[in-house]
Amino acid sequence: MNGEVLVLAEHTAGELDSITLELLGKGRELADALGDRLSVVVVGRQLQGAIDRLADKADRLYYVDDPDLGVYNAEVFGEILAAAARKIAPRLFLMGYTYLGMELGPALAMQLEMPLVSNCLGIELRNHGKVAVERPLCGGTLRAREECDLPLMVSAPLTAFSAKAIRACQADVVRIPYPGERRSLRTRVREVVGNISGESTIARSDMLVAVGRGMGSPDKLRLFQELAKVLGAALACSRPVVDMGWLSSDHLVGLSGSTVRPRIYIACGISGAAQHIAGMSGSSTVIAINKDPLAPIFNVAHHGIVGDMFDVVPQIIDEWSRRSSARTAPVTSDHNNTNALNRDA
Amino acid sequence: MKIVVCIKAVPGIVLGAKVAGSGDGIEYRTPSLIANEPDEYALEEALALRGKHGGQVTAVSVGPVQSEEVLRSALAKGADRVIRVDGKNSHPDRTSFFLAHVVRGLEFDLILAGMESWDNMSSQVAIALGSRLGIPFVFGATSMALGPERTIVVTKELGGGRNQVLEIGLPALLCTQTGTRRLSHVPFAKLVQARRRPIECVAVREPGPGQQGPAGKQGPSIVDVFTPRRTHAIEMLAGAPGEVARRVAEIIEGAR
């Protein structure tokens, strides 16, 4: 084997985050093409669960397990990963364009003196040891193809890659000793708070009406609340809507909010920034309405409407209401009749 | 409290984008450069901290002379001093090199910046700057307040709705989350006043081999820039709003 393709694993209480599986899938493809070993590194406390889940997905597994590492601290994790990566000297170092990767990636690149291509949506090998990568520019309206030399660090957002190429194998497991606190830390974690993930109303809902910056002003919210109500959907939103104070953060879909996988996701005036798409691309059916035909949301939508949502949404409300009343109209018993009356009331 | 804010001037609209001759960026036409929105939130946080604790806010931007409009707007919003670093801001590592060079010459307790630029979408510059300066850094800060003994208490997002509360020794660098404060409006009169104030301009030599970090090495070079193609089938619904609504209703009925 020539070298190593290294994946930085992210996990929550021993369960691997989706990004880890996607990076392992891509990592396997690249390692095969390079004739390299696929390795994965994981840092934390009580890692047995994560180790068990990783050990059959890579050729080598490095781990640093210590009671001190139960809570993420950028200074500590950064130092440990830099030391480990220096020793491993990977040809390709893959990590998520996630909060973790965005915080540690540029610092690791600096310490390891490796160029970092971040927010990468595609990687392939070229001749002469070059790597071609694709990444978004200008709010996702453009893409750049870049060529880079190895060694290289790459970060990728959730859903950029597929976990399909993961191959069952038996990793040789290498424990990296925890170096302990060698210098006084300047960052102290006081507490970890909140956990919307998986518990929010929007994460539980089967149908979501999501609004974005295209809404324009908060008084328009009523229209989308009405659409959600008639459809029996929950109301969600993208980051700018929370930023403007139009909806609270428990409606937020994306990297910093909830990850949702409803049957139906109706995106209204959402451009589709990578951070938003990371939180909703697992939806079964995505219907997107946007004025801009080049909006990145159309890259993940199954059905697209290029137009003014303020024209279309009232019509959908009317159409759905008509269909609903048609469904409830043929009254066959007193029981149904009572229900219909109550609904109207 | 001395605060440095990094602000990037980004195009409002990009027209006719193509690879720059040198391959280290793209060329495009744009009617104007505007402040990168995430950096504007960083400036608001800086001004709020100064309002509470006194001190000085210095805004720094790397870019061409057209970026000065963004610095004027920072002056109008209340920044005490603005500095433009004359250089290309197309590669994040090089931008962090330029910023580090200038910031090292300033006294500071805190550096604030946004999380991602609209044009390059890399989220690298600020953390790389903190790393170059050897100071602690935080990505995704949603609130900040001075703590005991020259510390700052910061709430940061971990993603997925989880947050951490950190106590960090100053000096430190924070990448602020968007939406933490309302963006203030700049009155025209203040912009006019700001036009009369000086903008310091600094030239920094390009990083060469042997410099700290990957800046001195051969970095990625852009070979193509294009409009993304759709990689999966999408049904585009066209027609009068009523027709479109009927089709949407059918899709919803079918998918429920």
Mean pLDDT (chain A) is 90
CB atoms A303 and B248 under 8 Å: yes
Q: What percent of chain B has pLDDT over 70?
A: 95
CATH class as words, domain B2-211: alpha beta
pTM for the complete prediction? 0.88
Average of per-residue pLDDT across A92-115: 96
Q: What is the pLDDT of residues B144-160, one digit of tens each?
A: 999 999 999 999 998 87
What does the pLDDT look like over B165-196, one tens digit per residue? 999 999 999 999 988 888 888 889 999 999 99
Highest mean pLDDT among A9-18, A191-200, B208-217: A9-18
In terms of C-beta density within 10 A (0-12 exposed, 13-18 middle, 19 or more buried), how is residue A122 classed?
Answer: middle
Q: Does A172 touch chain B (CB under 8 A)?
A: no
Q: Is 90 exceeded by the pLDDT of residue A275? A: no
Locate the chain B residue with the closest alpha carbon to A112: B213
Confidence of residue B108 (pLDDT cuts 50, 70, 90): very high
How sure is the predictor about A183, in pLDDT bands with cuts at 50, 70 and 90?
low
In the block, residue with structure tokens 């159409």: A319
pLDDT at A104: 98
Q: How far is B191 from chain A (nearest CA, A)?
A: 24
Q: Is the pLDDT of residue A345 over 50?
A: no
C-alpha–C-alpha distance, residues B88 and B69, integer Å: 16
Does A109 contact B128 at a Cβ distance shorter than 8 Å? Answer: yes
CB contact under 8 A, A106 and B234: no
Angstroms from B9 CA to nearest CA on chain A: 13
Nearest to B123 among A118, A146, A239 (CB): A118
pLDDT, average across residues A156-178: 94
Q: What is the mean pLDDT of residues B51-74?
A: 96
Q: Which domains are seen in chain A, by residue range?
A: 4-175 (3.40.50.620), 201-328 (3.40.50.1220)
Reported as a pLDDT band with limits 50, 70 and 90, residue A207 is: very high
Confidence at residue B210, expressed as pLDDT on a 0 to 100 scale: 62
- Contacts of B180-187 with C-beta under 8 Å, sequence gap 24+, read B180/B41, B180/B44, B180/B45, B180/B141, B180/B142, B180/B143, B181/B41, B181/B44, B181/B45, B181/B48, B182/A245, B182/B44, B183/B37, B183/B40, B183/B41, B183/B44, B184/B44, B184/B47, B184/B77, B186/B73, B186/B76, B186/B77, B187/B76
Count Cβ atoms below 10 Å from residue B206 Cβ, excluding itself.
12
Which pLDDT does position A244 carry in this prediction?
A: 85
Q: Please report the residues numbered 60 through 79 in chain A whose beta carbons come closer than 8 angstroms to any beta carbon of chain B.
A: 71-72, 74-75
Quick one: pLDDT at residue B90?
82
pLDDT at A306 over 90: yes
Distance of CA A108 to the CA centre of its chain: 21
A341 touches chain B (CB under 8 A): no
Q: Is the pLDDT of residue A342 over 70?
A: no
Lowest mean pLDDT of A29-33, A120-124, A321-325, A335-339, name the range.
Answer: A335-339
The helix (run of H) or strand (run of E) holding residue A83 is helix A74-88
B48 pLDDT higher than 50: yes
- How far apart CA A43 and CA B85 sit, in angstroms, is 39
At A335 the pLDDT is 46
Is pLDDT of A181 > 90? no
Name which of A117, A186, A245 is nearest B220 (Cβ-Cβ): A117
> With an 8 Å Cβ cutoff, are A315 and B118 in contact?
no
Q: Residue B220 is nearest to which of A71, A147, A187, comparing CB atoms?
A: A147
CB contact under 8 A, B123 and A306: no
| Confidence class for position B119, pLDDT limits 50, 70, 90 | very high
Percent of chain A with pLDDT over 90: 73
pLDDT score at A294: 84
Please determine, for the modelled complex, whether the ipTM score is greater than 0.90. Answer: yes
- Quote the pLDDT of residue A299: 87
Residue A331's pLDDT is what?
Answer: 52
Using the beta-carbon criterion (under 8 Å), do B236 and A306 form an inter-chain contact? yes
Q: Cβ separation of B227 and A141 shorter than 8 Å? A: yes
